[in-house]
Amino acid sequence: MTKRWTAYKMAISDIVNGTFTDDGFVQFGNLQVNRVRIMGTVVSKFTADDRKYGFFIVDDGTETIRVRSFEDNLKLIEKVNIGDIVDVIGRIRRYEDEIYIIPEGVQVIDDPNWVILRKLELMKQKKEMPKEAPQQEETPKEETNSNEEMIVEEVVEEVVEAKLPAGQTTLTESPRQKVIKLIKELDKGEGAEVSKIIERIGDEKVVESALTELMNEGELFEPRPGKVKLLE
């Protein structure tokens, strides 16, 4: 089973002005964060002639940050234009004195009301966040490249050896897997309707729990109320 660090919604100022640790985390309230979700306007963009490197700069009104892609995922850069509002999920990285983001998903937002909603979410989050420093806890370590690009997908993997009941040859799909499969099946381009997912699975609480988990992990988003879409 593959687990991801949670992608926390953050203001860019909290990222670039935060305390960056040697093991690749930014201090955010009582949290250690290395995977974030930001929303803002693209104010600059660059792609190298050899298409091995590119970036765009996002401004959310609090600060700016560079979103950098390399050859393997340059398509995430090419899909946006200056002036676009984007919702970006990715890993925080630092090179010399610059903190930047390696993107895992980039979505162009058509409705500017989502920017207002995100700002309200961040305000509420800040009010509710404990101010105490986190306790020292053992956390899973990630494997990273030694070079500056750090392209390799950085996930925490847990190997689970499961013994199947007698006569059973395959593991039953989890609610999460069922939801992902249904989203892929029902999404014809503008997202899958949550009501249809609930109808197919038959348990609203199970669906809502799976959707919340997937959103927290940055696997999907809501292009509009009542619809969900997996990030590319």
Examine the domain organization and report whether 92 and 193 are in the same domain: no
> CA angle at residue 125 from 38 to 128, to 5 degrees?
160
pLDDT digit of tens for each residue in the chain (232 aa)? 445 677 889 999 999 988 888 777 888 877 888 889 999 999 999 998 888 889 999 999 999 999 998 877 788 888 899 999 999 998 898 888 889 999 988 999 988 888 888 888 888 888 877 655 444 443 444 443 433 333 233 333 333 333 444 444 444 567 888 888 898 889 888 888 888 888 888 888 888 888 877 776 677 777 777 788 887 6
The SS3 call for residue 128 is helix
Examine the domain organization and report whether 24 and 124 are in the same domain: yes
Q: Are 160 and 149 in contact (CB under 8 A)?
A: no
Give the torsion through C-alpha atoms of 37, 38, 39, 45, to 10 deg.
Answer: -120
Distance CA 41, CA 48 (A): 21
Residue 101: CATH number of its domain: 2.40.50.140
Residue 182: CATH number of its domain: 1.10.10
- Nearest CA among 213, 211, 216 for reference residue 228: 211
Q: How many domains does the chain have?
A: 2
Cα Rg of the chain, angstroms: 19
Judging by beta carbons within 10 Å of its beta carbon (0-12, 13-18, 19+), is residue 78 exposed, middle or buried?
middle
Q: Is the pTM of this model over 0.75?
A: no
